[in-house]
Amino acid sequence: MSYNGFQFYDNETNFEKYMERRAWKENANDTLEKPVVRELLGEVSGKKILDLGCGDAKFAKELFDLGCENYIGIEGSTNMIELATESLEGLNGAVIQATMEDWEYPESSFDLVISRLALHYIEDIDGLFKKIHQTLKPNGVIVFSIEHPVITSTLQTSGTRTSWTVDNYFIEGFREQQWLGGTVHKYHRSIEGYYRALQGAGFTVENLRESTPHREHFENEETYERRLRIPLFLFLSAKKTT
């Protein structure tokens, strides 16, 4: 299949709608996803960081504020590359336009690999985890977030969500979603599937988290209560131990 997840963001209409959603104060990325990622990252001072599917790379500024030594972002979308280049201006970092699957990963080069809501676009997750394992230094760590498998399991190949009922959960593979007026292509995997793929690449899984909402991140009670109903995101961190 020739489709890549970043192509969604190079459609101008999709891109504009996505940026409008991200600008909302109570967007799920900032209220649910980023707080958990920040917690799982731990100490980043002095670390060399690789960010897969970095998007606009605004997160890089926060990493440098925390003491990160060097930052490399990998991103396929031309629209996102333009924003990422602006975000990294004046910082000890760079953004490279490439797909996660095709980029040539340098061996034993990074202390930390992060990926925020991008790995659910990848078909060959086993192969990618092996490349990430190769590019990490000994005892290096990967921290990533994905759309929760109970969400991706509700997507059907027609692209239409029939309900929030979990269905075909153990049938992993391609899914379509109608989102923001466009079509998104993703790959559904079970929680066990991600866990076993990390183990198979030589990682030791250290943390598994879900997007439990915390009231202090929300302005509106209604939004907070709505987020209590369904886990939107899954988070895993793992260390290179072999």
User: What string of H, E and C letters represents the secondary structure of 188-238?
Assistant: ECCHHHHHHHHHHCCEEEEEEEECCCCHHHCCCHHHHHHHCCCCCEEEEEE
Q: Answer yes or no: is pLDDT of 160 > 80.
A: no
> Phi and psi for 196 in degrees, rounded to 5?
-70, -35
The percentage of the chain sitting over the pLDDT mark of 90, rounded to a whole number, equals 69
For 113-127, the three-class secondary structure string (H helix, E strand, C coil) is: EEEECCHHHCCCHHH
Taking residue 198's Cβ as centre, other Cβ atoms within 10 Å add up to 24
Lowest mean pLDDT of 12-26, 57-71, 86-100, name the range: 12-26
Query: Domain 5-145+189-240's class?
Result: alpha beta
As a whole number of Å, the end-to-end CA separation of the chain is 32
pTM reported for the whole predicted model: 0.91
Q: Where are the alpha helices (DSSP H) in the chain?
A: 12-23, 28, 34-41, 58-65, 78-87, 125-135, 149-152, 191-200, 221-227
Residue with the larger pLDDT of the pair 114 and 228: 114
Averaged over 213-237, what is the pLDDT? 92
Alpha-carbon Rg for the chain, nearest whole angstrom, is: 17
Give the C-alpha separation, 9 to 142, whole Å.
25
